[in-house]
Amino acid sequence: MSHIIKQPLRAMLAGIALAAVAAPNAMASSHREAPFITKSPKIDATDFYMFRSYESGRDKFVTLIANYVPLQDPGAGPNYFQMDPDALYEIHVDNNGDAKEDLTFQFRFANTGKDAQFTVGGKKVSIPLVINGGPIADVNAAGTNVRETYSVSVVRGDRRSGTRAAVTNATGGATTFDKPIDNIGKKSIPDYAAYAAKHVYAVDIPGCATPARMFVGQRKDSFVVNLGETFDLINIKAPAVEFLANAERNARDDLAGKNVTSIELEVAASCLTASTGSDPVIGGWTTASLRQGRLLNPAPGASAPSKEGGAWTQVSRLGMPLVNEVVIGLKDKDTFNHSKPSADGQFADYVTNPTLPALIEVLYGSAGAKAPTNFPRNDLIAAFLTGVKGVNQPATVTPAEMLRLNTSIAPTAVGAQKRLGVIDGDNAGFPNGRRPGDDVVDIALRVVMGKLCTLNLGCAPSDAPAGAIRFTDGAFLDETFFTAGFPYLKTPLAGSPQQ
């Protein structure tokens, strides 16, 4: 923090608030980031993680986590937060640098109502509770009124025309898996952690010699951000001078009381990289798609309230965090969510000539927050489109936005991880993949303001007058916010306060 203390007071206060200045949507990784996706929260991807597993004994695996359904209030019953059975959720992996998927994991969900009934005055009457009709401790327990299940396919090649095969339970070969119901409270689910753990499956992926692990279910939201004060015209109280040393921990986390739904796979690294073994770098992103047409049933009764049909249409996309929020202009946010990495040339100007640093300079330039002067921004091209040379850039690369991971870099053990990842000397962290404890807001702010220039990565220190300022949103995040093993994200908050 010595650099902060040397800055003029105004510059120091600017640095503390700058993450919030960027643009309100930038502050929630990918929660409700584009106009259209706000209409369909069940298919809104909020965060995507891809990292070498750092659980003891699992270092030869890569963990993929795709979070969906943002801003879940724990007590929001009676329906809580089921996934959309009319949607297609996918995790894509590119292992040859051509910006096209080579492996895709496709998830489809189904909800089955059990129509639990009570006998009242001699008549059997359906209960109004949507999820739970009694205490729950086991998979598909008798106390559940709705059973939520899912199936998974792996597609090799193009996700629409490639070779498709079912992922199966390593015990018994089943192709259908149960998703735990959300954390209603202790009276309904006395030990939620133990209950959820029964939904961690060992699975066989066709074409992979080593069994994988899989979990789909509600988790504590893994992102941190000061939302409320950000949206109120950056209404963040400036801390006293003596408190500046703790600036990176000073803001409240408005997601502290929120849950999210996670789709998680832990797959052998050798199964994700190219079969030739020539390049250890993989790229990843997650998407969700809906059918093109929907016909509403004017009298649904016991039948479905709507009928979906037509081709799948992608409506959500997430690779690198904060791209659609901080980089892509408002008019193109929905377009980005519908696009593929191979078509990212249409968004090139947003990276080579970014507006965020210019906005920061307009607001805080007099305090020393000057935007970088190198154009095109080759440092941002490396961070967002190609990977950083010598860290996570593929041998052959087509510039495209996705999260890239060098699977040959060993994971950093728990207790030694640095929340700022590569820019703090921890090459196992963001932007070399993304771990749950990587503080991507602080990292992204410092990178767009020229931190890579100070490291001579794509530009020179003289190109970034503010490149050494420790910009922060004040909402702190590191590895201590998570568990040391799969599924890594913590048990979701319970809906009932009677704990």
Task: Tell me the three state secondary structure of residue 448.
Answer: helix
> What local confidence, expressed as pLDDT, does residue 142 receive?
86
Q: Pull the structure tokens for residue 125.
A: 């009457």
CA distances from 435 to 125, 298, 474 (A): 49, 46, 19
Residue (of 400, 403, 389, 409) closest to 280 by Cα position: 409
Task: Tell me the three state secondary structure of residue 71.
Answer: strand
Q: Which regions of the chain are under pLDDT 50?
A: 1-27, 233-234, 236-245
Instruction: Note whether residue 23 is domain-resident.
Output: no
Instruction: Note whether residue 450 is domain-resident.
Output: yes
Instruction: Note whether residue 122 is domain-resident.
Output: yes
Instruction: Note whether residue 484 is domain-resident.
Output: no
CB 260 within 8 A of CB 70: yes
pTM of structure: 0.91
Instruction: Note whether residue 479 is domain-resident.
Output: no
Cα separation, 80 vs 189, in Å, equals 14
Instruction: Note whether residue 20 is domain-resident.
Output: no
Domain of 230 in residue numbering reads as: 37-463
Cα separation, 143 vs 293, in Å, equals 36
Instruction: Note whether residue 334 is domain-resident.
Output: yes
Cα separation, 436 vs 442, in Å, equals 14
> What local confidence, expressed as pLDDT, does residue 18 receive?
38
Cα separation, 97 vs 270, in Å, equals 16
Per-residue pLDDT reduced to its tens digit, 437-474: 999 988 988 999 999 999 998 899 999 999 998 888 77
> What local confidence, expressed as pLDDT, does residue 14 receive?
38
Task: Tell me the three state secondary structure of residue 57.
Answer: coil
Residues 6+ apart with CB under 8 A from 110: 85, 148, 149, 150, 151
Instruction: Note whether residue 3 is domain-resident.
Output: no
CB 68 within 8 A of CB 42: yes
CB 334 within 8 A of CB 44: no
**Cβ density class 466-491: b for 16+ within 10 Å, e for less:** bbbbbbbbbbbbbbebbeeebbbbbb
Task: Tell me the three state secondary structure of residue 427.
Answer: coil
Count how many domains the chain has.
1
